[in-house]
Structure 1
Amino acid sequence: MLHPDIRKRAARRLPEHGLAEAVSLAAALPGIEVIWSEVVRVSRTLAGSLFGTGRVAELGERFRADKIGLVLIDGPLTPVQQRNLEKEWKVKILDRTSLILEIFADRARTREGVLQVELAALNYQRTRLVRAWTHLERQRGGFGFVGGPGETQKENDRRAIDEQAIRLRRQLEKVVKTRELHRAARAKVPFPIVALVGYTNAGKSTLFNRVTGAEVLAEDMLFATLDPTMRSLNLPSQTGPGRKVILSDTVGFISDLPTQLVASFRATLEEVLAADLILHVRDISHPETAEQAQDVEDILQSVGVPASTPKFELWNKLDLVEPSAREALLAQAAQRAGVFAVSALTGEGVAELLSAVSAAFEAEKTEELLDLGFDQGRRHAWLHQQGVVLSEVLGESGWQLQLCWSQRQREDYFRL
């Protein structure tokens, strides 16, 4: 595993931590054993080989001495760089995007997950066709008698990939429509959606299992969860039966997440877009927890999560924090609104978190009287679908509705 430390590129995190994360990524893929890993300082990137000539020769000797069969480079490689390095080193090379795609392909279980990974892989593959077929000459069209220049192999491959991508998108559209039907069915019996988001291996699935009793795969491994899982959850309440919500466990994020994956997994992330409350789970014991949190916020913003969506921040893995720093963290979390220090593994702080989630939904409801004309049938139907109508009086020109709704529902209504 090689982690290029490019001096001219502004980096959010230390290269040593980036290398450790890359090794963990490799460990998440069965059949790969990382013999050794190293941060490679790069003062100037070369278009043809990324690394300098001397460094390429030095690394090649080490690969041959250790009989290395696969080299993982924790960063983006151009097709030309990959081809030249494979030719020089006589080994198979995967860059960061390829490695993440391999992990996703190995982990996807649902039909939707498999389709999304295949589409992401095709989109990535299409970019690798650039200058990847320079050894193939342009073929002549027709029968070779009077035909002009035909298509290159690159163009043939690109068209085949595009056709396959269209087929996958059509299949994914059917899955999305099914998900929309399920969402519409939930809207008729409107339970708020609470979405767990966070950096990969932050402990989302462990927390999900603890509060719902589910048995979602939860391991100390990057990308243990790929396919979204939803369960109903009865929140605690001091005034009577607790409110029921839908809790959604989502795929973990990671720094430099390939754009192909963000686009392909947009259907999965729709549950986050529609969430009434987002729980951002952070591994507070990680040395770069702040950088990871910023990566998550950047991705949420890039997929279009509304800034108005309420959000709680969970400082998870409190059980791994050193005792000397633990009390300071607890005091800091107590002073910040919407921040909760928890341990999904031991259950510490989880009860307080659930009480706060319940209180958030109970506190945000307000009653309002609304007059609606008969020409507003779409809005009238939407209000009933949301379950916010307490009473309704039919008048000569329309309806008079007594509503009990959240601020977000009110904003959504006026955007209709």
Structure 2
Amino acid sequence: MTSPDAPSLLDRDHGLDASSECYPDVVRSVFLAPWAARRSEEPDQPTQLAARTVVALNEVARWANDGQSADPTACAWLAYLRWALSNGACLPADAPVPPQDELDLDFPVLSAPGPHDGDSFQALATGRLGEVARPVLPLAESPEVLARTAPYGLIPNIGWKSLIILALDSAAITHGSPEAQTAAAALALVVHAAARARATGGTLHEVVRETARVASEITRPAPRTHELLALCADPEALAPLWTEPGALASRLGRGDTATEALALGLAALLAVEDSGAAKATGSTNSARNITGDDVAGAARALMAEHGVREGAAHDVAVVVAAARWGLAAAAPADDTDGTAAAASNRNAGDHAVAAPSPPHTPAPGVTATAPQDGKGEEGSAAARAELHALADRWNGLWRP
């Protein structure tokens, strides 16, 4: 539990304040995070599916602004069906054929055909809407569901009770496993709590501890997810797993699941925080101002980069670091060096975090968003520009 004097990072009935000064940058940073994890010439599946989620929620906001209601899960399903169709899915005759939306009309890079591995494409190709009570693929637990669920954590003015329901229902569209559904909802909670921590100066440990507490309220049977969230929330239990070779992998297991990817990403971030200095006191001599790029780069350096689980864990690390500290790539066009984000961090009373060098791990030295050999720079820049434009639309719809 958060100490009595600490501000609540997850409130049952109250959520993010979209009118706050830092909210637009939080939105931009989280939207760009899956892309920033790779900066590939063509947006990968996590980036494209997250963009589809954003478009679906923007549609809900438009209906609400017109004084009408829309079903967020139905909007998400239709958005994901559009993604499946763009990637060659042949839907049954009785499946709905969604019309083009703003992503297809205005964002050619984000809506172009791309990678479609994992359970999401298979589930959507059935043309059926997966529900918590009636799953399409009951055993589906692949980790691509994580990044696409993260934007739910940015919806303003809703507490964790409503957020959990929205995230679970969205994850269940394709993923029938209660473990995967719970892990996806937990990432939305982490993003929400990290965004609030950005304004209050809260730590990642407080974010994860609050997430583990609230996730325990989810009634889906997900003992493994709850176990690993509790592990991440316990610094004393987590610390030895980074210092003993293979200990973390052994504890997590070897499956490429959403639950394990979430835990690995969070554990790496927490290891970075544990390696850092004490709280900043506002003096430039006492602590270094950090960015989400610093934290995400250090966290990614603690993880191998050769598997589905690790790739999804990298996405988790960048998304959460983006929500908490922001990313340089998310700065407005006239602030590409991240000056505004850094100023926001200083005003929030950040904690200094140094790049860790625990035994048996490489020393972090590369940020999470560095392009490789200049490949795909033009396409990468186009993807960044479209994600910025998508964030602008979100902020225009959701901010008062």
TM-score by length of 1: 0.31
More relative contact order, 1 or 2 (CA 8 Å, 6+ apart): 2
More helix per residue: 1 or 2? 2
TM-score by length of 2: 0.31
